[in-house]
Amino acid sequence: MDDIRTVACVGIGTIGGGWAAYFLARGYRVRAWDPAPDAAERVRALIAAAWPALTQLGLAEGADPENISVHSDLAEALDGVQFVQENAPEVLEMKRRLLAEIDAAAPPEAIIASSTSGYSMTEMALEAEHPERLVVGHPFNPPYLIPLVEVVGGERTAPEAVEWASQWYEHIGKSVITMDREVPGFIANRLQEALWREALHMIANGEATVDQIDRSIVDGPGLRWPAQGPMLTFHLAGGPGGMAHMLDHFGPSLKSPWTRLEAPELTPELRDSVVAGCDDEADGRTVADLVAERDQAIIAIRKVMQHLGGSTA
């Protein structure tokens, strides 16, 4: 990993430009290609806008926003690169063709990752000659600030490529989830999408306004999620009995029409695996320990938001 110096961004819109800014801030040289005539101008503007935030977070030695070259030819952009991040529009046919072209032109040892929001690599890699080096590396906008990257291979991706990509993203400071199976929308997008669809249903049915929906998250459960995520949050909702009590107490509510998404049957196996998962994640911390941690996090976040002028009462 320490030998990597040069990476490529193919497609440099919102996400590709955000990745480029991040790679530059971590001290890499970026070679880019994008068919839009104004792509170079746009990416430079995006990098300039992101650079103060990246500087605030801390730049790697030698990081330079000028260390990017935008090429008029894809093969030229891929010349000598050691990693490729593909960020073209979310159109399956286009991704298939483009990944095959990248695969044909990139140095044979380079791993190629796609930023796709939901396609599987199995369906995107169909036209590529070397699908074994193609992986999904799904970021969140803006990729220069949000740490999460979800990594997953397709049916013909080599396990070593998935492992390499996960290590690479960790090496550059990302929080990586390596998935061992392809799931449409991956993990975080699926969760985000469930909330999004329910919100749209509520607006369509006159059940809530846009403002009420946003405030319900910003001043409500959104304050807990940065500290513990939705599972451990509910572990604490169970009081000293934790998730086991939570599920036994509120399990029957899964039958209530509290959302349009149908709940799975709360079988003993599902109950036990959720309880065991929370115990693993708690890693010896009692519910009281976790409550204290959560409270400190919420106080800190509320203070920051109040300072920034956002409402958290």
d(CA 274, CA 277): 5
Q: How many Cα atoms within 13 Å fall on the side-chain side of residue 120?
A: 13
d(CA 84, CA 12): 12
**Which residues face 70 on adjacent strands?**
32
Output the smallest distance, CB 6 to ligand NAD, in A.
Answer: 19
- Comparison of 31 and 235: residue with beta carbon closer to ligand NAD: 31
- Comparison of 11 and 242: residue with beta carbon closer to ligand NAD: 11
Output the smallest distance, CB 285 to ligand NAD, in A.
Answer: 32
Output the smallest distance, CB 88 to ligand NAD, in A.
Answer: 4
Which residues lie near ligand NAD (CB under 6 A)? 10-16, 34-36, 39, 87-90, 94, 98, 115-117, 139-141
- Comparison of 10 and 68: residue with beta carbon closer to ligand NAD: 10
Output the smallest distance, CB 283 to ligand NAD, in A.
Answer: 30
- Comparison of 106 and 275: residue with beta carbon closer to ligand NAD: 106
Residue nearest to ligand NAD (CB): 13
Output the smallest distance, CB 156 to ligand NAD, in A.
Answer: 20
* Rg of the chain in Å (alpha carbons): 22
Dihedral sign (CA 142, 30, 58, 172): positive
- Comparison of 87 and 120: residue with beta carbon closer to ligand NAD: 87
d(CA 188, CA 195): 11
Cβ neighbours of 275 (radius 10 Å):
19
Classify 265 as helix, strand or coil.
coil
Output the smallest distance, CB 7 to ligand NAD, in A.
Answer: 16
DSSP letters spanning 87-148: ---S-HHHHHHHHHHHHHHS-TT-EEEE--SS--HHHHSTT-S-GGGEEEEE--SSTTT--E
The residues near 307 (Cβ < 8 Å, ≥ 6 apart) are none
- Comparison of 111 and 124: residue with beta carbon closer to ligand NAD: 124
